[in-house]
Structure 1
Amino acid sequence: MSIRFLGVPHSGQDRLPVYSFRVPAGFPSPAADHLERHISLDELFDLRAPHMYLVQVEGDSMQGAGIYPGDLLIVDRSRDAEHGDIVIAAINTEPVCKRLYRRNGVVVLQSENPAYPSRHVMEGDDLVIWGVVRYSVRDHAQ
Structure 2
Amino acid sequence: MSITVLGRSERLRHLLPEADSLRISGFQSAAGEWEENAISLDRLVGLGESPIWVVMVDDESLLEFGIYPGDRLIIDRAAECRPGHLVIMDVNGQYEVRRLTHDNQGGRLLLGGHRQARPISYGRDEPLDVCGVVTFVLSYVAQPAM
| Normalised TM-score (structure 1) | 0.63
For residues 74 and 82 of structure 2, what CA distance do their matches in structure 1 show? 17
Q: Name the amino acid aligned to 1:131.
A: G
Name the structure 2 match of 1:75. Answer: 75
For residues 33 and 85 of structure 2, what CA distance do their matches in structure 1 show? 40
Partner deviation per Cα, 1:24-73 (whole Å, 9 max, x = no partner) = xxxxx741145443321133224460121101112223223221112110
The farther-off stretch of 89-98 and 71-80 is 89-98
- In structure 2, relative to structure 1, the CA distance for the partners of 1:54 and 1:34 (3 Å cut) is closer
- In structure 2, relative to structure 1, the CA distance for the partners of 1:39 and 1:100 (3 Å cut) is same
Name the structure 2 match of 1:141. Answer: 143
- % identical equivalent positions: 29
Flag the structure with higher strand content: 1
Partner secondary structure for residue 43 of structure 2: helix
Flag the structure with higher helix content: 2
Q: Which runs of 5+ in 2 are unaligned?
A: 1-5, 9-22
Q: Which runs of 5+ in 1 are unaligned?
A: 1-16, 24-28
What are the within-5 Å matches in structure 2 for residues 48-63 of structure 1?
Answer: 49-63=49-63
How many aligned positions are there?
118
**Greater RCO (CA < 8 Å, at least 6 residues apart):** 1
Rg larger in structure: 2
The Cα of 1:130 is off from its aligned counterpart by 1.0
Q: Name the amino acid aligned to 1:109.
A: L
